[in-house]
Structure 1
Amino acid sequence: MSILFLADLAAEELAVWTQALRASLPGDDIVAWTGEPASAPAAEILAGVSVAVVANPPPGRLARLPALRLVQSAWAGVDALLADPALPAVPLARLVDPLLAADMAEAVLGHVLALHRQMPAYRAQQARGHWQPLAQPRMAERRVGVLGMGEMGQASAALLAQVGFDVVGWSRRPRAPLPGVAMASGADGLDHVLGAGQILINLLPLTPQTQGLLGAGAFARMPRGAGLVNAGRGGHVVVPDLIAALDAGQIGHAVLDVFTVEPLPAGDPLWQRADITITPHVAAPTDPHSAARAIAANIARWRAGEAPLGLVDRSTGY
């Protein structure tokens, strides 16, 4: 059976992904296509494709697959896919890879520890040549809020709790209990997490409901001087509101790993701010080999008549 790998990637990256998928799906013919019309596979191949694995597919290309029955994303986020008005009305699964969740948890822990141990303040003191020990609370005295209790959010919250932080997680709908993590949901739960979290981690998917969630209203509800780590999507943060909150001292420091335009332009004023730490979308880079194994297992589930992992509810975007 032919599986289409529809990916707008650089040639070297496309080759790595294609090789990984072929190794994980040895019984299938993996047909790679960047979406360029001139390099489109033969019409009879496209007509027979029932499964498409996608990574940044150009809009409208999936609509050319009349036999399509499953779209499997190579990424954990599917907001760009859902923005395609011609996306066929077939099951869509995002990537669920335990390695990805573990990598995200590691990155979140690193950023939280840096904020907890007041590294930004000490870097500012170093720049001034100023020696001043700061009062240091213990981890159990530092509440960390985690927005988004999907695979990455749960892994991050669990790791933070394991090392000793007071952790509360928020999700749109109630979730099963997570050892060591207080759980909140709904609008009231969001207000609680925003008001209680001295460090706030955002790992939500980007949907119409979460677009611009981290704006002036959210920042005003957070404790004064709170830290923010955004590893969700750039569209979650209203940048002018964040700048205003930083200038006013309402937000003490922000760690931004994702942006609405990537790479972040060299002239963007965010680069120059000492109260912002910028990382180039590296919190949880997708490993093609691990992802290919997870994708193959999910396709096997679908072929066996089981619901794929990471199945997207199109009414909510996740």
Structure 2
Amino acid sequence: MISVALLSRPGLMDPMKAVLARELPGVTVASWPEPAARDAELAVCWKPEPGALAAMPKLRLIHSIAAGVDNILSDPTVPDMPLCRIVDPGITSAMTEFVLWATLYFHRDFDRVIGNARDGLWRRYEQRAAGDCRVGILGLGALGTDAARRLVALGYAVSAWSRSPKQLEGVRTFSGADALDDFLSEADILVSLLPLTPSTVGLLDAARLSRLPKGAALILCSRGEHLVMDDMLALLRSGHLRGAVLDVFEQEPLPADHTLWREPGVLVTPHMAAIASWETIAQQVAENARRLLRGEPLLNVVDRVRGY
């Protein structure tokens, strides 16, 4: 039977152990840096210690516990071998729910009403039809596509940008670097659902956020590294941006003394937009372990060039 190493902050993946033991009778599971982990054939990872994967001589497969693998590929010493990720339809539904809620948060003025309620201020705002609210989605992968379709079904004016050309019914699509500025100029609410790759790090900087219409809002539920935080704060404080719902950050958990917690116009959520259950993660890891042992094609293998 295969041996498995869990590489993460201490205790994070402990809930997986019982499921792996049930799915893979006889499996050996150890947590890094225990000696048994160093001899494992399968590494299950979330933000592994730099150099750890390269120090595992018997390693045959690396598996993320999330849809994204940037937390693994950020280490230049990661061995050249199959890397798999989690693909969970439940994550797609959960992310769409989060995007719909955050869109309504700005479209229906809940951001303003909640602030007014704290001050006992009864104030109504002009109600806009969904079709008068332009929502722009950065990224048309599985997450972005599902969110775009649901927003269209609710009547929103939806546009989307992707690296390569894509078509989606009811959505005005843009593609390639040359079209990014035009896409941003049409988004009253910008939703970031891009994967994190070298080309998307720092994508949302002052130059690009300034392309958004005055009074636009940002919904960030992809990766914190996409956003240049100081640039966003400057645009919020100048009044160019209306507000932001931020679910992901370069440093997580976000420190309690971080300015974002108290920044007017910013709502911080604790990386909760879409979370796969430990049961689902362990089952997909176990299935790939069985396939590895049988010499069968693995599920959800990552293209390292694209980063997803």
Superposition TM-score, scaled by structure 2 size: 0.90
Deviation, 1:207, is 2.0
Task: Return the offset for 1:117.
Answer: 0.3
Map Cα deviations across residues 57-112 of structure 1 (whole Å, 9 max, x no partner).
Answer: 22222223334333221112211211222210012122211111111111111111
2: CA distance, partners of 1:169 / 1:59: 35
**Distance (Å, rounded) in 2 between the aligned partners of 1:58 and 1:30:** 23
Alpha-carbon displacement from aligned partner over 1:217-255 (angstroms, at most 9, x marks no partner): 111110110110011111111111111111121110101
Cα offset, 1:304, TM superposition:
5.9
2:16 alignment partner in structure 1: 17
* Equivalent residue pairs, number: 307
Could you tell me whether the CA contact under 8 Å between 2:30 and 2:37 is conserved in 1?
no
Amino acid at match of 1:6: L
- Separation (CA, whole Å) in 1 of partners of 2:222 and 2:45: 20
User: 2:229 — aligned with what?
Assistant: 239
Could you tell me how far apart the structure 2 residues matched to 1:304 and 1:171 are?
35
CA distance in 2 between partners of 1:314 and 1:80 (Å): 13
User: How far apart in 1 are the matches of 2:267 and 2:290?
Assistant: 41
Distance in 2, matches of 1:149 and 1:295, equals 26
Inter-CA distance 5–149: structure 2 relative to 1 (3 Å threshold): farther
SS at structure 2 position matched to 1:71? strand
Select which of 91, 94, 109 maps to 1:100: 91
Contact 2:29 2:37 in 1 (8 A): no
Aligned to 2:184, what secondary structure does the other structure show? helix
1:282-309 CA-to-partner distances (Å, cap 9, x unmatched) read: 1112311122233344556665643632
**2:239 corresponds to which of 242, 245, 249:** 249
User: Is structure 2 residue 296 aligned with structure 1 residue 315?
Assistant: no
Q: What's the offset of the Cα at 1:125?
A: 2.9
Quote the residue 1:167 is aligned against: 158
**Deviates most, 295-304 or 237-246:** 295-304
Of 157-166 and 195-204, the range deviating more from structure 2: 157-166
Aligned to 2:35: 40
2:180 corresponds to 1:185: no
CA contact (8 A) 2:7 2:43 kept: no
User: TM-score scaled by structure 1?
Assistant: 0.88
Q: Which residue of 2 aligns with 1:206?
A: 196
Q: Counterpart of 1:78 in structure 2: which amino acid? A: V
Instruction: Tell me if the contact between 1:9 and 1:34 (Cα under 8 Å) persists in the aligned partners.
Output: no
- Does the aligned pair in 2 maintain the 1:120–1:275 contact within 8 Å? yes
Report deviation, 1:265: 1.4
SS of alignment partner, residue 221 of structure 1 = coil
Deviation at 1:42, TM superposition (A): 7.6
Residue of 252, 255, 264 corresponding to 1:265: 255
How far apart, CA to CA, are the structure 1 residues paired with 2:30 and 2:290? 22
Distance 1:296 1:193 in 2: 41
Query: Residue 113 of structure 2 corresponds to which residue in structure 1?
Result: 122
User: Which residue of the other structure, out of 175, 195, 210, is the alignment partner of 1:220?
Assistant: 210
CA separation in 1, counterparts of 2:8 and 2:77? Answer: 17
Aligned amino acid, residue 19 of structure 1: A
Structure 2 residues without counterparts, runs of 5 or longer: none
Residue type of the alignment partner of 1:77: G
2:7 matched residue in structure 1: 7
- 1:30 partnered with 2:27: yes
Match of 1:291 among 258, 281, 293: 281
User: Which deviates further from its counterpart, 104-113 or 118-127?
Assistant: 118-127
Map 1:41-120; keep pairs closer than 5 Å: 41=36, 45-46=39-40, 49=41, 51-120=42-111
